Amino acid sequence: MDHQDTIVALSTPPGISALAVIRLSGKESITLADKIFKGKKLSDQPSHTLHFGKITEDDTVIDEVVIGIFKAPHSYTGEHIVEISTHGSSFIVQKIIRLFIDLGARAAGAGEFTQRAFLNGKFDLSQAEAVADLIAADSDSAHRAAMNHMRGGFSAEIKKLREELIHFASLIELELDFAEENVQFANRNELTGLILSLRDHLLHLKSSFRLGNVIRHGVTTVIAGRPNAGKSTLLNALLNEERAIVSEIPGTTRDAIEEVVNIDGVLFRLIDTAGIREATDVIEKLGVEKTMEKISQSTVLLYVFDVNEMDREELLNELSKLPQGKAAVVVTGNKIDAQRNNNLENQYLNIENLIFVSAKQKIHLDFLRKKLVSLVAGDAQAGDKTIVTNVRHYEALSKADQALEDVFHSLQSDASGELFAADIRRALNALGEITGEVTTEDILGSIFSKFCIGK
């Protein structure tokens, strides 16, 4: 891809709207705009100014527009940028973009504006990726994490780790140059200490990914239990609207229904499932199997039972039949409104994460919501410490950690610098991949192709 030419794209969603914004970036963008803009000469205007005028083709007015100009290097991409606000008509937008292409601009590829910003050093790779995350963020927590990354919080952390390592790497490389003399420039104890502290830091970052993943994609939460336990009613109560079918006939919710609910800024993907019971026909059996499969893939399992129907022994027995996956289980005793015995806690002693509610009467649902959030987000939610949200970053951190582990073992066995110099470099490369200090066309291609065109 040529990074020198002038690119053009619609930066707002296609279709009819009040306004649409067409953006150009590149050396020629202001000169090209001057060729079709009637009002004043844009090239003579200062940077960061807005100008009203007409866009014309052969003396026919196509639209009245407002043009913003941002001159290199003080723009999003670091190049000359022109932003044209037109009326939001696809016809006008297409016409103007075509005029620019006829004049020599090129239609921008996905993420190309942001890619140029990266190539021009406006921000590093993880910040560029955060731009896409910010656009996609649909909850408080996702927005907060993306904002932190975009501002460079995470990048700064990675750069610092890398710099600490670079210092030692250069001493080790120096030892290699003086191999015959058998000298040690890098203090082995200090290096071991550094490796340990770096690995500790990487471990924290890596473990934040569980939360990061949840923040970015939502928490898959399967609601399961016997037929008639009140699963659909609970789902509806959590959603605060009647969406799933509630019925008196056991086993009617056969297929999985997924609904998204935002609890305290965390998205939960609630999946209602067929009731778990001894199946009497083939279709029901399939339903139960599917439920078990869903449970094993979920992050949270919301197990619902009717407190009027199941005692402690039976409950434990039912719980033991569930797939033993990685899911955190919340046990929800439902229908407490219809319960005569008000000593429920004593009836179900020593059952972890147990909450009593009435789905129908909406009693104690707040406890349940709090429990759900605390299970996945813990108290990490409030703080502004770095959370890894991107699988590419997670993989790079893992690679760096493995390399450092190898260095650590070499140091333990008193191996010579020659043996672990390559491992240190491997760690440096892995960390550099995150910020883009070390990068390949492949990495860049796969990152920016996920952006929308015009960004």
Interacting residues toward ligand GDP by CB under 6 A: 225, 227-233, 246-248, 253, 275, 334-335, 337-338, 358-361
**Edge-first strand listing for the sheet containing 328-334:** 257-263, 266-272, 219-225, 300-306, 328-334, 354-356
Q: How far is the CB of 353 from ligand GDP (least distance, A)?
A: 19
Q: Which is nearer to ligand GDP, 252 or 402 (CB)?
A: 252
Within its chain, how far is the Cα of 46 from the centroid?
Answer: 38
Q: How far is the CB of 334 from ligand GDP (least distance, A)?
A: 5
Tell me 452's DSSP state. P
- Rounded Cα gap, residues 157 and 388, in angstroms: 12
Residues 6+ apart with CB under 8 A from 101: 8, 107
Q: How far is the CB of 312 from ligand GDP (least distance, A)?
A: 19
Q: Which is nearer to ligand GDP, 358 or 390 (CB)?
A: 358
Q: Which is nearer to ligand GDP, 253 or 386 (CB)?
A: 253
Task: Output the furthest CA–CA distance in the chain (Å, rounded).
Answer: 87
Q: How far is the CB of 356 from ligand GDP (least distance, A)?
A: 10
- E strand intervals along 26-167: 37-38, 49-57, 60-70, 81-88, 106-107
**Which residue has its beta carbon closest to ligand GDP?**
230
User: Using CA of residue 148, residue 152, residue 155, residue 160, what is the dihedral sign?
Assistant: negative
Q: Which is nearer to ligand GDP, 130 or 359 (CB)?
A: 359
Q: Which is nearer to ligand GDP, 275 or 417 (CB)?
A: 275
Find, among 58, 9, 67, the residue nearest to 33 by Cα. 67
Q: How far is the CB of 327 from ligand GDP (least distance, A)?
A: 18
Q: Which is nearer to ligand GDP, 253 or 299 (CB)?
A: 253
**Edge-first strand listing for the sheet containing 17-25:** 37-38, 49-57, 60-70, 81-88, 17-25, 7-10, 106-107
Q: How far is the CB of 238 from ligand GDP (least distance, A)?
A: 12
Q: How far is the CB of 325 from ligand GDP (least distance, A)?
A: 21
Q: Which is nearer to ligand GDP, 333 or 454 (CB)?
A: 333
User: What is the phi/psi pair of residue 305, to 5°?
Assistant: -135, 160
Q: Which is nearer to ligand GDP, 246 or 286 (CB)?
A: 246
Which tokens hold the place of 102?
């006829």
Query: Can you spell out the DSSP letters for 346-375?
Result: HHTTT-TTEEE-BTTTTBSHHHHHHHHHHH
Q: How far is the CB of 110 from ligand GDP (least distance, A)?
A: 43
As beta bridge partners, residue 65 has 53
